[in-house]
């Protein structure tokens, strides 16, 4: 799965198991299952990310799914967005130690950085919030016709059905539940894919983005 960057993937797993646990970013019980439940489960998201696009991993935490995705996809430009300083410090260290030049760490909440981050083609997220709330944060960060890919568990279909009205208000045109990672992970990883139209986030967010562009707000915290 990780090809030439397998040594970097091993280093990341070691960092999670050591500093990640000591600093409370990942539970000690996760250590024996870091590869299948975390690194591989996230890396297979790569199957559904288009070539050469910009990605924002919302609520990246200790770097999931953003870091495994970056390790398998050097063609992407990835922003790891995370509000908590303890976590962004860890993320910055990982990015530097692994030499991931195509990854940037930004500290902030998705709803606060709207208009300060360049809109992206793909938003990724895992374990951040229920789909309707997550979409409210993630969809406005997208470019027109972009897509949000949310790694979800068994409740994916149910969450999607419950979120349809909210998604429609946010300008989502298409939704599907995908299963990825055949031959790599068992069970397969479940991804909810939502694709937006011309106005991601709807009218309210379009106005906010336009205002930010007019006033040239470029606040970016590291
Ligand atoms: C349960 S953790 C999941 C971390 C990681 N995605 C994973 O799968 O291990 C949820 C993360 O979302 C972040 N978060 C919560 N609300 C957020 C928001 N509005 N914008 C961006 N990140 C947020 C939290 O700080 C936390 O790191």
Neighbours of 81 (CB within 10 A): 30
Residue 63 Cα: closest atom of ligand 1: 5
Beta-sheet pairing, 142-152 with 103-107: unpaired
219 pLDDT exceeds 60? Answer: no
Residues 176-188 have a mean pLDDT of 96
Residues 45-53 have a mean pLDDT of 98
With tokens 């995370």, the residue in question is 82
pLDDT of residue 217: 61
Distance CA 72, CA 184 (A): 13
Q: Kind and range of the H or E element at 175? A: strand 172-180
- From 128, 136, 137, 138, mutation site for ligand 1 pocket: most ligand atoms within 8 A of C-beta: 128
Query: What is the distance of C-alpha 135 from the center of its chain?
Result: 12
pLDDT of residue 2: 95
Atom 20 of ligand 1, nearest CA residue? 109
Half-sphere exposure of 67 (CA within 13 A, CB side): 31
Neighbours of 162 (CB within 10 A): 13
Residue 87 Cα: closest atom of ligand 1: 27
- Give the confidence band of 75 by pLDDT, cuts at 50, 70, 90: very high
Q: How confident is the model over 85-143, as pLDDT tens digits?
A: 999 999 999 999 999 999 999 999 999 998 899 999 999 999 999 999 999 999 999 99
| Total domain count, the chain | 1
CA distances to 58, 124, 203 from 115, in Å: 15, 18, 14
Q: What is the CATH number of the domain that holds 102?
A: 3.40.50.150
- The domain in which residue 65 lies consists of 3-221
Atom 4 of ligand 1, nearest CA residue? 61
């Amino acid at each position: 799965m990780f090809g030439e960057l397998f040594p970097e993937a091993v280093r990341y797993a070691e960092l999670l198991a050591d500093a990640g646990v000591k600093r409370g970013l990942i539970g000690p019980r996760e250590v024996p299952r870091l590869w299948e439940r975390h690194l591989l489960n996230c890396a297979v998201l790569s199957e559904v990310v288009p070539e050469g696009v910009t990605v924002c991993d919302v609520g990246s935490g200790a770097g999931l799914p953003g870091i495994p995705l970056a390790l398998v996809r050097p063609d992407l430009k990835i922003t790891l967005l995370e509000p908590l300083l303890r976590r962004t410090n860890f993320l910055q260290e990982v990015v530097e130690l692994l030499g991931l030049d195509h990854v940037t760490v930004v500290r902030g909440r998705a709803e606060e950085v709207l208009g300060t981050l360049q809109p992206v083609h793909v938003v990724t997220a895992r374990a951040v919030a229920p789909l309707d709330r997550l979409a409210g944060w993630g969809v406005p960060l997208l470019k027109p016709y972009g897509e949000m890919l949310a790694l979800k568990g068994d409740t994916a279909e149910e969450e999607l059905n419950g979120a349809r009205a909210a998604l429609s208000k946010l300008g989502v045109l298409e939704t599907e539940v995908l299963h990825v990672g055949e031959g790599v992970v068992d069970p397969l990883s479940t991804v909810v894919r939502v694709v937006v139209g011309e106005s991601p986030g709807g009218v309210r967010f379009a106005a906010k983005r336009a205002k930010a562009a007019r006033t040239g707000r470029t606040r970016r915290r590291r």
